[in-house]
């Protein structure tokens, strides 16, 4: 086989495999998250792959413009951790959803505190979120 044909075939295979692992690279965060929801419906065993898909979408669409990218990444870490616990049946779905909502709330509050220049209060909120990782 000619080198250019081999290259074309290998490139096509790589594109197909990437399409299985990544959210769509065109569009927006909302449509990428919807694609994750379709690809990984809510059931035990899908929570961690869904979290990875959502995190990849957030990395692509939200992180580049985030005022506090470290907080976004902390949310990603919490999302993956809680999802892993759900898939391993160490945490119920409802408890995982409550904890994620709490983490989201604390991150939003930490963002507000940082924006107001109150780093000490922001640090307290982040410590509470980091405690969820233990």
Residues in contact with 121: Cβ distance below 8 Å, sequence separation at least 6, in sequence order: 110, 113
- The two structure tokens encoding residue 47: 């929570």
Contact 56, 23 (CB under 8 A): yes
pLDDT at 133: 86
The boundaries of the domain holding residue 69 are 22-131
Averaged confidence pLDDT in the chain: 87
How does residue 44 score in pLDDT terms, banded at 50, 70 and 90?
Answer: very high
Q: Is residue 16 part of a domain?
A: no
Counted domains in the chain: 1
CA distance 66 to 82: 23
pLDDT higher than threshold 70 for residue 93: yes
Q: Is residue 62 part of a domain?
A: yes
Contact 121, 127 (CB under 8 A): no
pLDDT higher than threshold 80 for residue 24: no
Q: Is residue 12 part of a domain?
A: no
How does residue 134 score in pLDDT terms, banded at 50, 70 and 90?
Answer: confident
């Amino acid at each position: 086989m000619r080198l250019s044909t081999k290259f074309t075939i290998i490139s096509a295979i790589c594109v197909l495999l990437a399409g299985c692992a990544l959210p769509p690279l065109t569009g927006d965060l909302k449509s990428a998250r919807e694609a994750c929801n379709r690809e990984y419906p809510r059931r035990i065993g899908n929570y961690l792959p869904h979290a990875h898909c959502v995190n990849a979408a957030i990395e692509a669409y939200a992180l580049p413009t985030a005022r506090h990218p470290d907080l976004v990444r902390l949310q990603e870490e919490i999302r993956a951790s809680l999802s892993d616990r759900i898939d391993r049946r160490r945490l119920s779905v409802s408890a995982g959803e409550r904890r994620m909502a709490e983490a989201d709330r604390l991150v939003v509050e930490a963002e507000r505190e940082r924006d107001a220049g109150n780093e000490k209060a922001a640090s307290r909120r982040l410590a509470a979120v980091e405690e969820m990782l233990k």
